[in-house]
Amino acid sequence: MKRIGRVLIVSWDGGGNAPPALNLGARLIRQGHRVRLLGWKSMTSRAAASGVEFRTYSSEPFWPLDLTLEDAWKERIQPALFGSGTRDDVRAQTKDFSPDVLVVDCMMGAGLEVADALDLPLAVLVHVPYCLFRYEWGSEAYRTKKARYLDKAREVLVLMPPGFGESCPLPANTTYVGPITDPNPKPPLSARDADLLAKPGDPWVLLTLGTTLQGQAAAVPRILQAVGALPIRALLTLGGVVPTNAVNPPPNVTVRGFIPHEQLLPHMAAVVSHGGLGTINAALTSGVPLICIPQGRDQPYNAQRVVASGVGRAVATDASPVEIATAIEKLLADPDALNTAHRFADAIDRLGRSEVAMRKVTGLIGRHAAAAPD
């Protein structure tokens, strides 16, 4: 017999944190569980594609298209993550949905606070570097409060492979589960892109700077200048943040708006990225080494971990085209980085590519959940 449960996932659209929440929901649905995701309006189409039941926060603030997360932090992000309106929305969804398990994004302080007051099993998704998040971010008072929520959770799931993050005290309820990948099949590449990537020639390099507005407008021209001087082919994906007609690529660069990384990475010799953990996880899952050009947030730390773990290199945010080109050349000539990236891919395979995370969450479904035959 297996237990069929109801899982409420509490999340937000901060970039790389959204896909793991959606992918977890899709995987739980495939096992027969009922899942509801509470998220931002910008996640609506992705939630529909994943098959997850979706609700939005009535308290979600208005979000201008040209506003970055950093510029909106005090006025919009803090209320959305920690505010009383968000707490009320989480309570309302909990009352309406009657979940057996709560899964809460680690940055949703309001969600963690509500979960703390409820007698329900809690799993926390940590989509940022665990040691940095728990032991360094925020004031001493905030870290103490955060640690209490994490310690009371049944499961704390760190969404990076073992060995990538730095070493720090790890409580018994905390597990490095690796990335949570999408179980739903992706449509095939367009014939145009499939033919392009299949043509023999110079190695392919993926250029990507994330799906939320950051410093792309300043970074992309320097990267294109660097790549244009190298004997490689590059595919630049703009993530829907910068219009494709806003860049002037050299002849060896193809520009696209958005293509899922998992469709492109099998063709790539390297990735040049902003250092978001979602992109790093995708590259490591496919065994592809990286160059990180941090744009902010946790990305400088992530870039340090890419270097320290041996899977790539990092250059400064304002690196010159020559510095970027040199880093790409050295990475493509470095067999150790490629071999280390392959070892991380093997480690993610051993985790079952999301199976450990799934076992941790489904193990929380209580005996009061409805029973169904295997």
pLDDT in tens, 8-30: 999 999 888 999 999 999 999 99
Q: Which of 233, 343, 235, 330 minimizes the C-alpha distance to 287? A: 343
Cα gap 220→86, rounded to integer Å? 36
Residue of 176, 126, 169, 180 whose CA lies nearest to 149: 126
Residue 372 in 3-state DSSP?
strand
Cα–Cα distance, 343 to 63 (Å, whole number) = 41
Regarding whether 137 and 219 lie in a shared domain, the answer is: no
- H or E segment and range at residue 227: helix 216-228
Q: How far apart are CA 169 and CA 258, in angstroms?
A: 38
CA distance 221 to 251: 14
Residues ≥6 apart with Cβ < 8 Å to 20: 125, 127, 159, 179, 180, 278
pLDDT score recorded for residue 65: 72
DSSP helix/strand/coil, 229 = coil
Q: Are residues 128 and 85 in the same domain?
A: yes
Residues 110 and 37 placed together within one structural domain of the fold:
yes
Helical residues (DSSP H) of 153-213, grouped into ranges: 191-198
User: Could you please report the per-residue DSSP string of 89-152?
Assistant: HHHHHHHHH--SEEEEETT-HHHHHHHHHSSS-EEEEE-S-HHHHHHTSS-HHHHHHHHHHHHH
Asked if residue 242 and residue 155 are part of one domain, the reply reads: no
Q: What is the pLDDT of residue 280?
A: 96
Based on the fold, state whether residues 171 and 203 are members of the same structural domain: no
The CATH number covering residue 261 comes to: 3.40.50.2000
- Give the count of domains, the chain: 2
Same domain, residue pair 145 and 243: no
Residues 177 and 272 in one domain: no
Same domain, 133 and 60: yes
Q: What is the pLDDT of residue 374?
A: 46
Domain identity same for 146 and 170: yes
| 286 contact partners, CB below 8 Å, separation of at least 6 | 262, 265, 266, 268, 345
Collect the ranges in the chain with pLDDT lower than 50: 1, 368, 370-374
* Residues 6 or more apart in contact with residue 245 via CB below 8 angstroms: none
How many helices (H) does the chain have, and how many strands (E)? 15, 15
Q: What are the strands, taking DSSP E only, across the chain?
A: 2-4, 6-10, 34-39, 53-56, 101-105, 122-126, 155-158, 174-176, 204-208, 233-237, 253-256, 270-273, 290-292, 312-314, 370-372
Judge whether 123 and 154 are in contact, CB under 8 Å.
yes
| Residue 215 lies in domain | 191-350
* Residues 121, 19 share a domain: yes
Are 15 and 93 members of one domain?
yes
Tokens of 290: 């990286």
pTM of the prediction?
A: 0.92
Kind of pairing between the strands at 101-105 and 122-126 = parallel
| H or E stretch covering 26 | helix 18-30
So what's the pLDDT on residue 2? Answer: 65
pLDDT at 373: 46
Residues 15, 120: one domain? yes
Digit-coded pLDDT (tens) for 257-301? 889 899 999 999 999 999 999 999 999 999 999 999 998 888 999
Residue where the block lists tokens 């941090």: 294
